[in-house]
Amino acid sequence: MFDLVSLRTFAAVARTGSFTRAAKQVHLTQAAVSQQIKKLEEQTGRSLFTRTTHSVALTTEGEVLLRYAQALLKIADDAARHFSRRQLARTIRLGVAEDYALSCLPRALQLFQQVQPRVQLHVELGLSTDLFQRLDDRDFDLVLGKTLTVRPQALLVLREPLVWVGGRQVPSFTATSPVPLALYPPPGVSRGLMLDALERARREWTEVYTSPSIAALRAAVLSGVAVSAFPRRLIPPGLQPLPPDLALPALGELAFFLDWHHAEYDPTIDLLGRFLNEAANGPE
């Protein structure tokens, strides 16, 4: 009658007393948490929480369901631990946007391997649009990437302003000369934001360097032949924000989302997702 995702979400709301805090713990959006609770209330025919503008509390029937939920979740977690200890090494397929990978991924992988040494990770870096498409095609178990469109139930991991960057030597250009750019190929999310901002500002530009590799883009900017843009917290080593006197247009924010196959709860994938989130939001 009840699925484990709904019960785990319900238990998190009961434990935290908040739909918002529960959403962070179970890696769902607040709207998805509300949907899971509504589904349980429809299945039981009971109201499970009393809600005010400031608090969420269990009803009497909610307390009864919580006891059952805790027992069922403990059985499921015990079973997962039992069989994970005895199974052959498994592989998790992870897709990651390169700009996140450069600064945050090593920490996340280190934490994960400490607690799951028998799990093999197959990690691919790439353009976020392609990664999310391949997640939908089931080429990946988990993807962390950038997107300008909301993916239902995806978890927001990081939101950062996109800033123009250069090396120690910045190519010479003026407000009336084309801006030399190092860009990801289409359909790169950062590429789209940069070109849209320049078009709105009626600034001319020229694409002098194109690569899907962040290392290659960094090399082009370091050489002084082009400028580019990266999320402020994820600027590659050796690059720095460009001074305001160049009068380049504002680029707005980039959002990094974590997404997976939500109908198939897997405690190992859930754990990896938690470490990916923590690595992005820990101390800088």
pTM metric for this prediction = 0.64
The reported pLDDT for the residue numbered 94 is 96
Distance, in Å, from the CA atom of 230 to the CA atom of 162, rounded to the nearest integer, reads 5
Locate the domains of the chain by residue range.
4-86, 89-284
Q: What is the Cα–Cα distance from 12 to 165, expressed in whole angstroms?
A: 42
* Alpha carbon distance 127, 132 (integer Å): 9
> Which two structure tokens, joined as six digits, stand for 249?
């247009």
H helices within 92-145, ranges in order? 98-103, 105-115, 128-136
Q: What's 89-284's CATH class?
A: alpha beta
Q: Which residues pair with 255 in a beta bridge?
A: 159
Average pLDDT, consecutive stretches of 10 residues, N- to C-terminus, the chain (284 residues):
86 89 84 89 90 84 91 86 63 91 87 88 91 94 87 86 92 85 90 94 93 90 94 91 89 91 87 90 63
Q: Classify residue 220 by burial, with Cβ atoms within 10 Å: 0-12, 13-18, 19+.
A: buried
| pLDDT given for residue 195 in this prediction | 95
* Helix or strand run (H / E) with residue 8: helix 4-16
Diameter over CA atoms, the chain: 70
What single DSSP character describes residue 236?
A: P
Rounded to the nearest 10 degrees, how much is the dihedral formed by the CA atoms of 266, 272, 274, 276? Answer: -150
Amino acid at 42: E
Lookup: tokens for 47:
């109201």
pLDDT of amino acid 55: 78
**With b meaning 16 or more CB within 10 Å and e meaning fewer, what string describes 196-211?**
ebbeeeebebeebbbe
Predicted pLDDT of residue 218: 92
If one counts every other C-beta atom within 10 angstroms of the C-beta of residue 86, the result is 7
| CA 33, chain centre distance (Å) | 18
Considering the domain delimited by 4-86, tell me its CATH architecture.
Orthogonal Bundle (1.10)
Q: DSSP strand E in the chain: where?
A: 49-51, 56-58, 91-97, 120-126, 142-146, 155-166, 179-183, 205-210, 228-231, 240-241, 253-260
Nearest to 258 by CA among 277, 280, 244, 283: 277
Angle (CA) 278 18 80, round 5°: 55
Given a contact cutoff of 8 angstroms between Cβ atoms, the answer to whether 5 and 37 are in contact is no
pLDDT value of residue 101: 85
pLDDT digits (tens, 9 = 90+) for 70-114: 999 888 888 877 766 555 468 999 999 988 888 888 989 999 988
Contact 276, 157 (CB under 8 A): yes
Residue 26 has what pLDDT?
A: 84
Write out the two tokens for 251: 């680029």
